Amino acid sequence: MHSLQCGRFTLTLDRPQVMGILNVTPDSFSDGGSFDTCSKAVAHAETLVSQGADIIDIGGESTRPGAELVSIEDEIARVVPVIAALKSLNVPLSIDTRRPAVMLAALDAGVDLINDIAALEGEGALRVAAKGNVAVCLMHMKGEPRTMQVAPEYDDVVAEVTSYLATRRDEAEQAGIERSRILLDPGFGFGKNLAHNIALFNAMPQMREALGCPLLIGVSRKSMLGQITGRVVSDRMAASVAAALLAAQKGAAIVRVHDVRETVDALKIWQALQ
Ligand code: 9MG
């Protein structure tokens, strides 16, 4: 069992941790005003913690294909007040961003984890993340969010993703980020079709073994679940909970979810009855 050095916290990872998703984008709290967006985001985070979230992942930019671009200044203006307001919650705070300037502002505001779908490939990102004692999540993505789902191709998706993550892990270590601070993530839905996602899901135990780092898994409400169930995004809670539970059984250390209460209950039942 690994433990994770995560800013102000050391997570023992003796049970699957639930990371609650907090999107701080105007469309998530559709009220138009930035103060309102911040206060509603803070209230939502408090609810997620009361439901059992172990970590809160705060994001100010949507990476869904077709999502509107946000400037660095706007992204910082969205997330920093929320981070500042949530520091007293006493749970690890994660910043979901690809931009080193946002990482820096978030670190100054007190985050404990940098969750980067671009695996710290941005100019200067490794240097920023090496500062302090924060954890990092390095995720695999093929292509770029706008176009990544247009016919992604692999010879061997599991080998390719594992090799990419091993390289990024090594580069992070060389930049001064100790292995005890590194999480790896196969990046479900980021440049992968359903067959690729299923192959990666099943390969989770061998990937964890090969990579020697805890895995963070995000499948909540994703289109792969819609493809399997035929359900629209607003109707994928049961599928998301089932997938999070299976991911935990396959060795995921952290599951990134929208439906915290239901996921926490499912994990408690598994732990008690197994
Ligand atoms: C921000 N974001 C959206 N999906 C994600 C996933 O699957 N993993 C991680 N680490 N971040 C994600």
| Residue 39 alpha carbon to ligand 1 centre in Å | 24
Strand partners, 139: 185
Ligand 1 atom with the smallest distance to the CA of 216 is 10
Which stretches within 58-192 are classed as H helix?
Answer: 72-86, 100-109, 125-130, 157-174
Identify whether the C-beta of residue 10 lies closer than 8 Å to the C-beta of residue 4.
yes
Ligand 1 atom with the smallest distance to the CA of 222 is 4
The residue whose CA has the least distance to atom 2 of ligand 1 is: 117
Give pLDDT, residue 194.
97
Give pLDDT, residue 107.
98
Ligand 1 atom with the smallest distance to the CA of 187 is 7
Give pLDDT, residue 30.
56
Give pLDDT, residue 35.
63
Strand order in the sheet with 216-217: 182-185, 135-139, 113-116, 93-96, 55-59, 17-23, 254-257, 216-217
What is the rounded average pLDDT of the residues 185-210? 97
Q: Which residues line ligand 1 (CB under 6 A)?
A: 59, 63, 96, 115, 117, 137, 139, 185, 187-188, 216, 218, 256
List, for residues 168-195, the tens digit of each pLDDT value: 999 999 999 999 999 999 999 999 999 9
CA distance 10 to 1: 13
What is the rounded average pLDDT of the residues 206-218? 98
List, for residues 13-59, the tens digit of each pLDDT value: 999 999 999 999 877 765 555 667 899 999 999 999 999 999 999 99
The residues annotated with a catalytic role in the active site are: 222, 256
| Residue 93 alpha carbon to ligand 1 centre in Å | 15
Q: What is the identity of the amino acid at 141?
A: M
| Residue 268 alpha carbon to ligand 1 centre in Å | 23
| Residue 223 alpha carbon to ligand 1 centre in Å | 13
Give pLDDT, residue 36.
77
| Residue 155 alpha carbon to ligand 1 centre in Å | 24
> Three-state secondary structure along 177-246?
CCHHHEEEECCCCCCCCHHHHHHHHHCHHHHHHHHCCCEEECCCCCHHHHHHHCCCHHHCHHHHHHHHHH
Exposure class string for 46-82: b at 16+ Cβ within 10 A, else e: eebbebebbbbbbbbbbbeeeeeebeeeebbbbbbbb
| Mutation probe of ligand 1 site: the residue of 99, 188, 256 with most atoms within 8 A of C-beta | 256
The residue whose CA has the least distance to atom 1 of ligand 1 is: 96
Give pLDDT, residue 55.
98
Give pLDDT, residue 119.
98
The pLDDT confidence band at residue 153, using thresholds 50, 70 and 90, is: confident
Instruction: Return the higher-pLDDT residue of 207 and 31.
Output: 207
CA distance 26 to 41: 10
The residue whose CA has the least distance to atom 8 of ligand 1 is: 218
List, for residues 61-117, the tens digit of each pLDDT value: 987 766 778 999 999 999 999 999 999 999 999 999 999 999 999 999 999 999 999
| Mutation probe of ligand 1 site: the residue of 117, 140, 184 with most atoms within 8 A of C-beta | 117
Give pLDDT, residue 128.
98
List, for residues 216-245, the tens digit of each pLDDT value: 999 999 999 999 999 999 999 999 999 999
Give residues with Cβ within 8 angstroms of 107, minimum separation 6.
114, 128, 131, 132, 134
Exposure class string for 222-254: b at 16+ Cβ within 10 A, else e: bbbbbeeeeeeeeebbebbbebbbbbbebbbbb
Give pLDDT, residue 64.
74
Ligand 1 atom with the smallest distance to the CA of 137 is 10
| Residue 188 alpha carbon to ligand 1 centre in Å | 8
CA distance 56 to 165: 23
Can you say whether the dihedral through the CA atoms of 17, 255, 144, 146 is positive or negative? negative
